[in-house]
Chain A
Amino acid sequence: MSQQLFTQTTFAKIIFQKLHLDAPLFVAIFLLCMLSFLTLYSASGQDFSVLIRQAIRVGVAFVVMVTLAQCKPQQFYRYSVILYILGILLLVAVLLAGLVGKGAQRWLDLGLFRFQPSEMIKITTPLMIAWFLSDYTLPPKPMQIFWAVVLIALPTLLIAKQPDLGTALLIVISGGAMLFFANLSLRFMLVTSSVLLSLTPVLWHFMHDYQKARVLTFLHPEQDPIGRGYHIIQSKIAIGSGGIYGKGWLGGTQANLNFLPESATDFIFAVFAEEFGLLGCLVLLSLYLFVISRCLYIAVRADDTYSRLLAGSLAVTFFAYVSVNIGMVIGVLPVVGVPLPMMSYGGTSVVTLLASFGILMSIHTHRKFIPT
């Protein structure tokens, strides 16, 4: 009996090794996908076609992930610059001729499918910064810091113009994380952060009205329960009414009865929390924690600077998305329109996400010294 198990496990191990896949990460991602399917089925009002569509996207994303896992990190290095420039161009294209979806120009209609360039930027920017910084000894010197900031700022501003404050903010975070991992002095970072924070009033001035409204609503959602505060109030109701054990799969009433808008996309965590309760949330958060920890572990164990910086940045980006989305849904952050990685409905998001995991796996499985 143990003989069989032994052969089975080694068999699986060989498959994973051959495909350059990192088993723990793979399994965690797979589990997250399963949870995602369960929740989407409920949030969409038991619409099977929604599930099918998402499953296809997830399938495509898995293919992308496995493909990228085959590549060597050197190849990423080679294409970093080109991909970055391509990303910038696409962003410009969006601004010039975007499709209006929900009051923001974020999409490019490519006939067969719609493509959201800002998603791509989530990968190309880290690639670029990592490429740039790894050429020099760490910590980077002021001149290098300057240029790194420019490289971060360029896509950020283009995305903010769309307007998509949420994603822009996260690009900044991923760039900042990169700099942090590049041994930038802590003092320096604190100083810059305070300077940036003090600039918030200026930023406020440049914000659109609705963005300002979002922040105000965040602080006092009850003041406008039918209009702007609606999302937050309904989200809290959904989550709170879930209690410890949740209402059970398909038992969520807030989403199914259309009380929670965006229930399949940005607010999917609320659906999950309503149906699976606090216990379910703990499971979900544990999975996320595991994924992030694994990514950080991969970063620590990476061979070279480029890979390290890249892996670290991708890990932090992933985590930033998770915490911002959940923070928004549970009412501790303003509504910023950011999807929940691995759970929200949407194609481009899953593809880029699994692409970045593919890169991470590639980094991990192409190391020079891999213990057997």
Chain B
Amino acid sequence: MNKVYTVQNTLQENRKFLNRVLVVFLAVVLTIAGLVARLVYLQISGHEHYSTMAKTNRIKSLPLPPTRGIIYDAKGRVLAQNTPVYSLELIPEQIKDMDHTLRRLQNLLNISNEKIQQFLRQQKASKRFSSIPLLWQLTDEEAAKFAAVRPYYSGVDIQARLIRNYPYGDLTAHVVGYIGRINAKELATLSAVQYSGSHHIGKTGIEKFYETQLHGKTGYAEMQTNAQGRAVQIITSNQPTMGNDIYLTLDIDLQKTASVALAGHSGAIVAIKPKTGEVLALVSQPSFDPNPFVAGMSSKAYRALHTSQKQPLFNRALHGQYPPGSTVKPFLGLASLQYGVATFTDTINCQGSYKLPNSTHKYRDWKKNGHGKVSMKEAIIQSCDVYFYDLARNLGIDRIYQALHQFGFGEKTNIDLLGEKKGLLPSRAWKRQHKNQAWFPGETLISGIGQGFTQVTVLQLAKATATLANNGVPMTPHLLHKITNANSSMLNNNQQETPIQLQNKNLQNIVDSMVGVIHSQHGTARRLRNKSYKIAGKTGTAQVFGIKQEEEYDEDKTTQKLKDHAIFIAFAPASDPQIAVAVIVENGGHGGSTAAPMAGKIIKQFLHNTQKGV
């Protein structure tokens, strides 16, 4: 024990120990020097490099998507808006026990197993630390239920989003269109900067045509994030520019009347203001609810729409091409007066059929025994086919082509919607090119009553009618009334096209004839007769299939699918037209009985409202 208190050979031991201590001390100093050297390497020469890495660690540029512009009708009623929607979202990296959490949520909010499976599938496909939705469109009650217990659910939260909503649903689907998720093809063509952060883009209708106006400008924010990718602080931000609001020329009340009138049928109605080209109503039936397109519908639901017999997705006003039938008669009558090929007062005797010289083929009139002696006026009023077979023969297919072409048939109307069809005006050149045949004289005759190869769209019919109403001055049909934003408002100009050279006397005669269609005793649309104002119009009945020479067309016996299309064009008041309407009812039978009353309702409502000053 004593050994503890003394040191053997003191001096030597001391020195040895001291040596050792000095060695250790040296080692310590060297080590510290080494550490310092390393620190210098990191903190001085590596400083910039690590600072940049620190910044990229934590600063993320987030796009701030703009709010889409609202679409209104002419009177300011909302046709497309953005409504807030709540979704329940989870970040898996922040949840300790996923199964347990999912079970608790299931109990709390009554979530179906199918939705859980969907969520788990989406989780696999998602990036780390991203927020994955479990439930879309929570009801207020569900949102409140969760909000009450939110502190007990880490990693689960409610996200508010704006979702596009169309309050009028199927009423405006074919005009306003809808937005949908951007697909890969569209993504390739879009500016990455403008559309970062946006998931939707206009797919059809006004939503697509005015996409740039409605979309606005994407902003961005530089956010400080933590390791979990959660935004902690905004450093700088560049606010997005909201999309511009659009006012359409549409009148939703008229749109509704037209839609209701056409309900149960397939067809289209277009109503235009002749003096300006503003489209008041554009209806295609059957229609569809565009709202499910926004969030994305099940493939089953889409298939149902897509393959439906009635084809509700098909916009009949723009894409539907039909033979115009007797509606061409006023235009051809006018042409023959202009060309001097006929006079207004000359008559022919209609016996019910017509033959070309050196031919036995009978071209039938719709009235079996004929209309008797008719002038052009009567021929229009009663829609005598025989008169117009003769007129067509005298005009010839080339002049028929010219006459109809100058009223816009066979060309696009240039309305501000995408995808309208041009229709078809046959000519010698066309036949040579497409059928490799010469033009036959018989084909001229049937072109004279709007059958055969001729095809028009309802939009073209409406524009042609409006041109007629506007003294031969065509106005480009348009839906855009004005564009507004927070700072300014811009009116859309009415576009006038090249006026058709018409003698006023001729035009007046034709208009009088068209007034007779409604207001005369024998008019094919005399049902619309009223005391308040004069309507000028023309009925049409387009053949869907041909009848054998000897047979008769018996409407009652023909199945619906093969029935003639019913067509009607009109404008009113005849003296100072304010509205022009074109109606087609597929397989509707007679124009006068089916299509005309629909037009009548629209005209009545419009003029009534105009009178009231609405």
User: Taking beta carbons and an 8 Å cutoff, which residues of A are in contact with B?
Assistant: 74, 77, 134-135, 137-138, 177, 180-181, 183, 234, 236-244, 253-254, 257-259, 273, 277-278, 281-282, 285, 288-289, 292-293, 296, 299-300, 303-306, 308, 312, 315-316, 319, 323, 326-327, 330-332
Indicate whether B492 reaches chain A with its CB closer than 8 angstroms: no
A299 neighbours in B (Cβ, 8 Å): 17, 21
One of A134, A259, A277, A296 near B43 (C-beta < 8 A): A277
Indicate whether B3 reaches chain A with its CB closer than 8 angstroms: yes
Q: Nearest residue in A to B226 (C-beta to C-beta)?
A: A257
Residue from A238, A240, A332 with most neighbouring chain B CB atoms (10 Å): A240
Given contacts A254-B57, A259-B227, are A332 and B50 in contact (CB under 8 A)?
no
Indicate whether B503 reaches chain A with its CB closer than 8 angstroms: no
A244 neighbours in B (Cβ, 8 Å): 43-44, 47
Q: Nearest residue in A to B128 (C-beta to C-beta)?
A: A226
Contact B51 A240 (CB under 8 A): yes
The interface residues of chain A, by DSSP majority, are classed as helix
- In the assembled complex, how far is the CB of residue A318 from the closest CB belonging to chain B, in whole angstroms? 10
One of A240, A296, A304 near B42 (C-beta < 8 A): A240
Digit string of B4-35 for contact with A (CB within 8 Å is 1, else 0)?
A: 11111000010011101100110011011011
Indicate whether B58 reaches chain A with its CB closer than 8 angstroms: yes
Contact A181 B226 (CB under 8 A): no
Contact A273 B39 (CB under 8 A): yes
- In the assembled complex, how far is the CB of residue B528 from the closest CB belonging to chain A, in whole angstroms? 75
- In the assembled complex, how far is the CB of residue A331 from the closest CB belonging to chain B, in whole angstroms? 8
B17 neighbours in A (Cβ, 8 Å): 181, 183, 299-300, 308, 312
Kindly state the separation between the CA atoms of A253 and B54 in the bound complex, as whole angstroms: 8
- In the assembled complex, how far is the CB of residue B518 from the closest CB belonging to chain A, in whole angstroms? 78
Indicate whether B438 reaches chain A with its CB closer than 8 angstroms: no
Given contacts A257-B232, A304-B6, are A241 and B47 in contact (CB under 8 A)?
yes
Known contacts A183-B20, A332-B34; 12 additional CB pairs below 8 A are A134-B4, A183-B16, A236-B42, A236-B50, A240-B47, A240-B50, A241-B53, A253-B57, A273-B43, A277-B43, A285-B35, A288-B32
A289 neighbours in B (Cβ, 8 Å): 28-29, 32
One of A74, A134, A259 near B226 (C-beta < 8 A): A259
17 A–B contact pairs at CB < 8 A?
Answer: A138-B16, A234-B57, A240-B43, A240-B49, A242-B43, A242-B47, A243-B43, A243-B51, A257-B226, A258-B227, A278-B44, A289-B29, A296-B24, A304-B4, A304-B6, A305-B3, A330-B38
A238 neighbours in B (Cβ, 8 Å): 50, 54
- In the assembled complex, how far is the CB of residue B31 from the closest CB belonging to chain A, in whole angstroms? 5
One of A257, A293, A326 near B25 (C-beta < 8 A): A293
Kindly state the separation between the CA atoms of A285 and B38 in the bound complex, as whole angstroms: 13
Contact B47 A312 (CB under 8 A): no
A183 neighbours in B (Cβ, 8 Å): 13, 16-17, 20
One of B5, B46, B57, B225 near A303 (C-beta < 8 A): B5
User: Taking beta carbons and an 8 Å cutoff, which residues of B are in contact with A?
Assistant: 3-8, 13, 16-18, 20-21, 24-25, 28-29, 31-32, 34-36, 38-40, 42-44, 46-47, 49-51, 53-54, 57-58, 224-228, 232
Given contacts A254-B57, A304-B5, are A319 and B28 in contact (CB under 8 A)?
yes
Contact B58 A253 (CB under 8 A): yes
Kindly state the separation between the CA atoms of A282 and B40 in the bound complex, as whole angstroms: 10
One of B5, B16, B39, B54 near A237 (C-beta < 8 A): B54
Contact A327 B54 (CB under 8 A): no
- In the assembled complex, how far is the CB of residue A196 from the closest CB belonging to chain B, in whole angstroms? 18
Given contacts A135-B3, A257-B225, A259-B226, are A239 and B42 in contact (CB under 8 A)?
yes
A316 neighbours in B (Cβ, 8 Å): 24
A293 neighbours in B (Cβ, 8 Å): 25, 28
Kindly state the separation between the CA atoms of A299 and B38 in the bound complex, as whole angstroms: 30
A315 neighbours in B (Cβ, 8 Å): 24
The 4 closest A-B pairs by CB, nearest first: A240-B50, A257-B226, A241-B54, A258-B227
Q: Nearest residue in A to B6 (C-beta to C-beta)?
A: A304
Contact B47 A138 (CB under 8 A): no
B24 neighbours in A (Cβ, 8 Å): 177, 180-181, 296, 312, 315-316
- In the assembled complex, how far is the CB of residue A336 from the closest CB belonging to chain B, in whole angstroms? 16
Q: Nearest residue in B to A239 (C-beta to C-beta)?
A: B42
Contact B21 A240 (CB under 8 A): no
Kindly state the separation between the CA atoms of A180 and B31 in the bound complex, as whole angstroms: 18
B39 neighbours in A (Cβ, 8 Å): 239, 273, 278, 281, 330
Contact A237 B21 (CB under 8 A): no
Contact B43 A181 (CB under 8 A): no
Kindly state the separation between the CA atoms of A239 and B422 in the bound complex, as whole angstroms: 70
- In the assembled complex, how far is the CB of residue A332 from the closest CB belonging to chain B, in whole angstroms? 6
A282 neighbours in B (Cβ, 8 Å): 36
- In the assembled complex, how far is the CB of residue A14 from the closest CB belonging to chain B, in whole angstroms? 27
Contact A292 B43 (CB under 8 A): no
B40 neighbours in A (Cβ, 8 Å): 278
- In the assembled complex, how far is the CB of residue B57 from the closest CB belonging to chain A, in whole angstroms? 6
B6 neighbours in A (Cβ, 8 Å): 304
B44 neighbours in A (Cβ, 8 Å): 243-244, 278
Given contacts A257-B232, A259-B226, A312-B24, are A239 and B53 in contact (CB under 8 A)?
no
- In the assembled complex, how far is the CB of residue A61 from the closest CB belonging to chain B, in whole angstroms? 24
Kindly state the separation between the CA atoms of A311 and B465 in the bound complex, as whole angstroms: 111
B21 neighbours in A (Cβ, 8 Å): 181, 296, 299-300, 312
A303 neighbours in B (Cβ, 8 Å): 5, 7
Kindly state the separation between the CA atoms of A315 and B5 in the bound complex, as whole angstroms: 22
B49 neighbours in A (Cβ, 8 Å): 240
Kindly state the separation between the CA atoms of A317 and B53 in the bound complex, as whole angstroms: 35
Contact B20 A180 (CB under 8 A): yes
Contact A237 B7 (CB under 8 A): no
Contact A240 B5 (CB under 8 A): no
Q: Nearest residue in B to A299 (C-beta to C-beta)?
A: B21
A331 neighbours in B (Cβ, 8 Å): 38, 42
B13 neighbours in A (Cβ, 8 Å): 138, 183, 305
- In the assembled complex, how far is the CB of residue B56 from the closest CB belonging to chain A, in whole angstroms? 10
A240 neighbours in B (Cβ, 8 Å): 42-43, 46-47, 49-51, 53-54
Contact B57 A237 (CB under 8 A): yes
Q: Nearest residue in A to B3 (C-beta to C-beta)?
A: A135
Kindly state the separation between the CA atoms of A238 and B21 in the bound complex, as whole angstroms: 35
- In the assembled complex, how far is the CB of residue A222 from the closest CB belonging to chain B, in whole angstroms? 11
Contact A137 B4 (CB under 8 A): no
B51 neighbours in A (Cβ, 8 Å): 240-241, 243
Q: Nearest residue in A to B233 (C-beta to C-beta)?
A: A257
Q: Nearest residue in B to A243 (C-beta to C-beta)?
A: B47
Residue from B13, B31, B42, B51 with most neighbouring chain A CB atoms (10 Å): B42
Contact B35 A326 (CB under 8 A): yes
- In the assembled complex, how far is the CB of residue B335 from the closest CB belonging to chain A, in whole angstroms? 78
Given contacts A257-B232, A304-B4, are A292 and B57 in contact (CB under 8 A)?
no
Kindly state the separation between the CA atoms of A289 and B25 in the bound complex, as whole angstroms: 9
Contact B25 A296 (CB under 8 A): yes
Q: Nearest residue in A to B42 (C-beta to C-beta)?
A: A240
- In the assembled complex, how far is the CB of residue A284 from the closest CB belonging to chain B, in whole angstroms? 10
- In the assembled complex, how far is the CB of residue A202 from the closest CB belonging to chain B, in whole angstroms? 27
Contact B54 A254 (CB under 8 A): yes
One of A134, A137, A180, A241 near B50 (C-beta < 8 A): A241
Kindly state the separation between the CA atoms of A253 and B17 in the bound complex, as whole angstroms: 47
Contact A323 B7 (CB under 8 A): no
Kindly state the separation between the CA atoms of A238 and B39 in the bound complex, as whole angstroms: 12
Kindly state the separation between the CA atoms of A128 and B227 in the bound complex, as whole angstroms: 46
Kindly state the separation between the CA atoms of A234 and B35 in the bound complex, as whole angstroms: 18
- In the assembled complex, how far is the CB of residue A167 from the closest CB belonging to chain B, in whole angstroms? 19
- In the assembled complex, how far is the CB of residue A312 from the closest CB belonging to chain B, in whole angstroms? 7
Kindly state the separation between the CA atoms of A97 and B401 in the bound complex, as whole angstroms: 101
Kindly state the separation between the CA atoms of A236 and B39 in the bound complex, as whole angstroms: 10
Contact B35 A257 (CB under 8 A): no
- In the assembled complex, how far is the CB of residue B2 from the closest CB belonging to chain A, in whole angstroms? 10
Q: Nearest residue in B to A136 (C-beta to C-beta)?
A: B3
B4 neighbours in A (Cβ, 8 Å): 74, 77, 134, 304-306
A253 neighbours in B (Cβ, 8 Å): 54, 57-58, 224
